[in-house]
Protein backbone atom coordinates (compact mmCIF):
# COMPACT_ATOMS: atom_id res chain seq x y z
CA UNK A 1 0.00 0.00 0.00
CA UNK A 2 1.17 3.51 -0.69
CA UNK A 3 2.55 5.39 2.32
CA UNK A 4 1.13 8.76 1.44
CA UNK A 5 -1.80 8.00 -0.78
CA UNK A 6 -3.64 5.70 1.61
CA UNK A 7 -7.16 4.63 0.73
CA UNK A 8 -8.81 7.04 3.13
CA UNK A 9 -6.71 9.95 1.80
CA UNK A 10 -7.75 9.19 -1.75
CA UNK A 11 -11.32 8.71 -0.60
CA UNK A 12 -11.37 12.16 1.03
CA UNK A 13 -9.67 13.61 -2.05
CA UNK A 14 -12.18 12.16 -4.45
CA UNK A 15 -15.25 12.75 -2.28
CA UNK A 16 -14.36 15.64 -0.01
CA UNK A 17 -16.69 16.25 2.95
CA UNK A 18 -18.06 19.70 3.65
CA UNK A 19 -17.00 21.21 0.33
CA UNK A 20 -18.93 23.97 -1.34
CA UNK A 21 -20.24 27.29 -0.08
CA UNK A 22 -22.27 28.24 2.93
CA UNK A 23 -24.62 31.19 2.71
CA UNK A 24 -25.03 33.12 4.85
CA UNK A 25 -21.76 32.71 6.79
CA UNK A 26 -20.14 34.69 9.59
CA UNK A 27 -16.46 34.18 8.85
CA UNK A 28 -14.51 33.49 5.72
CA UNK A 29 -10.93 33.07 4.58
CA UNK A 30 -8.98 32.43 1.40
CA UNK A 31 -5.37 31.40 0.90
CA UNK A 32 -3.05 30.55 -1.94
CA UNK A 33 -0.25 28.09 -1.81
CA UNK A 34 2.49 30.07 -3.60
CA UNK A 35 4.25 26.79 -4.29
CA UNK A 36 1.68 25.50 -6.71
CA UNK A 37 -1.03 28.10 -7.17
CA UNK A 38 -3.58 26.14 -5.21
CA UNK A 39 -6.42 28.01 -3.66
CA UNK A 40 -8.45 27.14 -0.60
CA UNK A 41 -11.27 29.13 0.92
CA UNK A 42 -13.62 28.57 3.81
CA UNK A 43 -17.04 29.76 4.94
CA UNK A 44 -17.83 29.41 8.63
CA UNK A 45 -21.10 29.83 10.46
CA UNK A 46 -20.69 30.63 14.17
CA UNK A 47 -23.11 30.03 17.01
CA UNK A 48 -22.33 30.58 20.71
CA UNK A 49 -18.63 31.13 19.93
CA UNK A 50 -18.47 27.73 18.25
CA UNK A 51 -18.18 26.60 14.67
CA UNK A 52 -21.70 25.55 13.89
CA UNK A 53 -21.00 24.66 10.29
CA UNK A 54 -18.33 25.20 7.65
CA UNK A 55 -17.57 24.57 3.97
CA UNK A 56 -14.28 24.58 2.09
CA UNK A 57 -13.93 25.51 -1.55
CA UNK A 58 -11.10 25.82 -4.07
CA UNK A 59 -8.75 23.37 -5.69
CA UNK A 60 -5.61 21.61 -4.69
CA UNK A 61 -3.68 18.39 -4.48
CA UNK A 62 -4.76 15.21 -2.77
CA UNK A 63 -2.96 16.16 0.41
CA UNK A 64 -4.48 19.62 0.76
CA UNK A 65 -7.96 18.50 -0.22
CA UNK A 66 -7.92 15.44 2.01
CA UNK A 67 -6.61 17.52 4.91
CA UNK A 68 -9.41 20.00 4.50
CA UNK A 69 -11.98 17.25 4.24
CA UNK A 70 -10.73 15.31 7.25
CA UNK A 71 -10.33 18.45 9.34
CA UNK A 72 -13.77 19.71 8.45
CA UNK A 73 -15.37 16.87 10.37
CA UNK A 74 -13.36 17.69 13.50
CA UNK A 75 -13.76 21.44 13.28
CA UNK A 76 -17.52 21.38 13.38
CA UNK A 77 -18.60 22.06 16.92
CA UNK A 78 -15.22 23.31 18.14
CA UNK A 79 -15.11 26.56 20.08
CA UNK A 80 -13.37 29.43 18.29
CA UNK A 81 -10.94 29.52 21.18
CA UNK A 82 -9.93 25.93 20.65
CA UNK A 83 -9.58 26.52 16.91
CA UNK A 84 -7.26 29.48 17.45
CA UNK A 85 -4.97 27.19 19.39
CA UNK A 86 -4.81 24.30 17.00
CA UNK A 87 -1.25 23.65 15.92
CA UNK A 88 0.43 21.97 13.01
CA UNK A 89 0.78 18.74 14.98
CA UNK A 90 -2.94 18.45 15.41
CA UNK A 91 -3.42 18.47 11.65
CA UNK A 92 -0.49 16.21 10.84
CA UNK A 93 -1.60 13.67 13.46
CA UNK A 94 -5.13 13.77 12.18
CA UNK A 95 -3.92 13.17 8.66
CA UNK A 96 -2.04 10.09 9.82
CA UNK A 97 0.53 9.95 7.01
CA UNK A 98 4.22 10.91 6.85
CA UNK A 99 4.37 14.41 5.38
CA UNK A 100 7.59 15.67 3.81
CA UNK A 101 8.78 19.26 4.30
CA UNK A 102 7.55 20.16 0.82
CA UNK A 103 4.09 18.72 1.29
CA UNK A 104 3.68 20.17 4.78
CA UNK A 105 2.39 23.39 3.25
CA UNK A 106 -0.29 21.41 1.44
CA UNK A 107 -1.33 19.61 4.60
CA UNK A 108 -1.53 22.81 6.63
CA UNK A 109 -3.24 25.02 4.08
CA UNK A 110 -6.75 24.40 5.42
CA UNK A 111 -5.75 25.11 9.00
CA UNK A 112 -4.06 28.28 7.84
CA UNK A 113 -7.27 29.37 6.13
CA UNK A 114 -9.42 28.52 9.13
CA UNK A 115 -7.09 30.23 11.61
CA UNK A 116 -7.03 33.27 9.38
CA UNK A 117 -10.82 33.35 9.25
CA UNK A 118 -11.22 32.83 13.00
CA UNK A 119 -8.44 34.96 14.45
CA UNK A 120 -7.20 37.11 11.58
CA UNK A 121 -3.77 35.58 12.11
CA UNK A 122 -2.47 35.13 8.58
CA UNK A 123 1.18 34.82 9.52
CA UNK A 124 0.69 31.23 10.72
CA UNK A 125 2.65 29.00 10.29
CA UNK A 126 5.72 31.19 10.02
Contact residues toward other proteins (CB under 8 A) are: 2, 4-5, 10, 32, 34-39, 59-63, 65, 100-103, 106, 123, 126
Q: Are 40 and 56 in contact (CB under 8 A)?
A: yes
Based on CB atoms, which residue is closest to other proteins, 18 or 65? 65
CB of 101 to other proteins, least distance (A): 6
8-state DSSP, 79: B
CB of 48 to other proteins, least distance (A): 34
Residue 106, classified by CB atoms within 10 Å of its CB into exposed (0-12), middle (13-18) or buried (19+), is buried
Based on CB atoms, which residue is closest to other proteins, 11 or 85? 11
The helices-and-strands tally (H runs, E runs) of the chain is: 5, 3
Q: Are 64 and 98 in contact (CB under 8 A)?
A: no
CB of 36 to other proteins, least distance (A): 4
CB of 47 to other proteins, least distance (A): 32
Amino acid sequence: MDDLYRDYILDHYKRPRNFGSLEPHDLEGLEHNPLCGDELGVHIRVKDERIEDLRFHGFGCAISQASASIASEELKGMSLREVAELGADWMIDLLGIPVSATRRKCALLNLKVVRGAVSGDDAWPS
